[in-house]
Amino acid sequence: MLCGMLGSLAAFYHDDLNLDDPEQRRMAAIRLLAKVPTIAAACYRHSIGWPGRYPRNNLNYVNRFLHMMFEVPSEPLELNPVAAKALDLLFILHADHEQNASTSTVRLVGSTGANPYACVAAGVAALWGPAHGGANEAVLKMLEEIGRPEDVASAIDRAKDKNSGFRLMGFGHRVYKNYDPRAAIIREMTHKVLAELGVNDPMLEVAMRLEEAALKDEYFVSRKLYPNVDFYSGLIYKALNIPTEMFTVMFAIARTAGWVAHWLEQQIDPEAKIGRPRQIYTGAAARDYVALDKR
Ligand SMILES: CC(C)(COP(=O)(O)OP(=O)(O)OC[C@H]1O[C@@H](n2cnc3c(N)ncnc32)[C@H](O)[C@@H]1OP(=O)(O)O)[C@@H](O)C(=O)NCCC(=O)NCCS
C-alpha cells in the first residue's frame, strides 16, 4: 500500500516539479519526509477498518506519527515520552546505512532523472522481499517459536547444526564483523521501554538468554556472529503496539530520510551519470537454432 501510494504521489505533484530548481527539490524532500509517516499510518488504520487521522501540526515528528496510528475518537491519546524517545531512536538508527539494496535502488532510479516520489516508491519496493528490512519480524517469529528461556540451549544447538536449516535470526551481518554499534544502543533502550511501559514480555527473557548463550559459544564467537540491530528493534515495536506486518513499513519511514538525502546529493553531483551496472556473460559462446517442433 505504501509503495503504491508513493508512486501515486508522483502524479499528484507532477506539474510543478522542476528538478533543476533547488527550492523545488527541497520542497519535494520535505513533502516526502512528511507524507511517508502520514501515508504509513493511514495504511495501518485502513487495514484495521479505522478512519484515518490527519497529522497534528502541534506535535513533533514521532508523536505526530503515534497520534496518527493510535488516536481514537472516544478518548485522548496519552503519548508516553519514553515510547516516543524509543521510536525517535529507532528512526535515527535506521535513517541511513550506506549502499544497501533499497538505497542503491533509489540512487539507480534517481540517476535517470526520475521524479523523487517514484524513486522513493522504488526504495520501498526493494524492501518488499524478506531479505531486506524483514529481519526483526523474523526475530520475533523465532523468539515465539523458541517460546521458553529453558529452550534456548536447544535452539543454539540447532543454529549450529548446518543440516537443521535454522539460523539465529538477528545475529551476524554482512558488513559488521564486530558488534553492531547500533545494537548496543537499542539493547539499552529495549530495557528502558519494557520497564516503563510495564510490558512483562517473556520473549525479552528468551532474547536475553539467547544473546548471552551465543556470545559465550565458540561457534558464534569464532565466526564473529553478534546480535545486530534487528535483534532488539522488533521487541521495542511490539511493546509500542506496532503490529508485526508494519515492521518493514517502520523501516521505510526511517529510511526515507536516508533515501531523500541520497537523492538530493545525487541531484547536485556534477559527475552524476545514469547508473549502468555491467555484466559478464558466462553462457554458451554459440548455440544452434533448433526449430520448435524439433525440441
Ligand atoms: C546476515 C547474514 C546473511 C550475513 O551473512 P554472511 O556475512 O555472508 O555470513 P555467512 O552466511 O557466510 O556465514 C558465515 C558463517 O557463519 C554461519 N552463520 C552466519 N549467520 C548465522 C546465524 N545467524 N546463525 C547461525 N550460523 C550463522 C554460517 O553458517 C557460516 O558458517 P561456516 O563458516 O561454518 O560455513 C547471516 O549472518 C544471517 O543469515 N543472519 C541471520 C539473518 C539476519 O539476522 N539478517 C539480518 C541482517 S541485517
Q: Which of 102, 157, 105 has its CA nearest to residue 133?
A: 102
Using CA atoms, how far residue 62 sits from 59, 113, 212, 261, in Å, is 8, 31, 32, 19
pLDDT score at 135: 87
Q: Whose CA is nearest to atom 48 of ligand 1?
A: 173
Spatial distance between the Cα atoms of 122 and 120, rounded to a whole number of angstroms: 5
* Ligand 1 midpoint to CA 75 (Å): 47
Assess contact for 2 and 43: CB atoms under 8 A.
Answer: yes
- Other CB atoms within 10 Å distance of the CB of residue 178: 8
Spatial distance between the Cα atoms of 87 and 84, rounded to a whole number of angstroms: 5
Q: Whose CA is nearest to atom 41 of ligand 1?
A: 169
The residues, any chain, with a CB within 8 Å of residue 135's CB and separated by 6 or more, are 169, 170, 228, 230
Spatial distance between the Cα atoms of 224 and 137, rounded to a whole number of angstroms: 23
pLDDT in tens, 212-234: 999 899 999 999 998 888 888 99
Which atom of ligand 1 lies at the shortest distance from residue 177's CA? 7
pLDDT score at 243: 93
Residue 227 pairs with which residues in a beta bridge? 171
Q: Whose CA is nearest to atom 26 of ligand 1?
A: 167
Alpha-helix residue ranges (DSSP H) falling in the chain: 2-12, 22-47, 61-70, 81-93, 101-110, 116-126, 135-146, 152-160, 181-196, 202-216, 218-222, 229-239, 247-267
Which atom of ligand 1 lies at the shortest distance from residue 174's CA? 7
Task: Based on the residue annotation, tell me whether 46 is a catalytic residue of this protein.
Answer: no
pLDDT score at 204: 80
Sketch out the chain's domains with CATH numbers: 2-79+94-128+249-267 (1.10.580.10), 135-239 (1.10.230.10)
Q: Which of 194, 196, 197 has its CA nearest to residue 205?
A: 194
Count of positions (residues) in the chain: 295
Residues with CB under 6 A from ligand 1: 135, 159, 167-174, 223, 225, 228, 230
Q: How far is the first Cα of the chain from the last one, in angstroms, to the nearest whole number?
A: 44
67, 94, 173, 262: the catalytic one is: 173
Per run of 10 residues, the mean pLDDT along the chain (length 295 residues) is 94 83 95 97 96 95 97 91 96 94 97 96 95 88 92 96 93 82 90 86 86 92 89 90 94 98 96 94 96 95
**Cell reading at 142:** 523465532
Strand, helix or coil for residue 128: coil
pLDDT score at 246: 95
Which atom of ligand 1 lies at the shortest distance from residue 139's CA? 44
Spatial distance between the Cα atoms of 46 and 53, rounded to a whole number of angstroms: 10
Q: Whose CA is nearest to atom 19 of ligand 1?
A: 172
Strand, helix or coil for residue 72: strand
Task: Based on the residue annotation, tell me whether 191 is a catalytic residue of this protein.
Answer: no
pLDDT score at 69: 97
By most ligand atoms within 8 Å of CB, the mutation choice from 167, 217, 251 for ligand 1 is 167
* Ligand 1 midpoint to CA 225 (Å): 7
Assess contact for 93 and 186: CB atoms under 8 A.
Answer: yes
**Cell reading at 34:** 512528511
Q: Which of 265, 239, 262, 234 has its CA nearest to residue 250?
A: 234
* Rg of the chain on CA atoms, in Å: 22
The residues, any chain, with a CB within 8 Å of residue 123's CB and separated by 6 or more, are 102, 103, 105, 106, 252, 255, 256, 259
Q: How far is CA 102 from the centre of its chain?
A: 10
Which atom of ligand 1 lies at the shortest distance from residue 170's CA? 44
- Exposure of 89 by Cβ count < 10 A (0-12 exposed, 13-18 middle, 19+ buried)? buried
By most ligand atoms within 8 Å of CB, the mutation choice from 174, 228, 232 for ligand 1 is 174
67, 94, 180, 230: the catalytic one is: 230
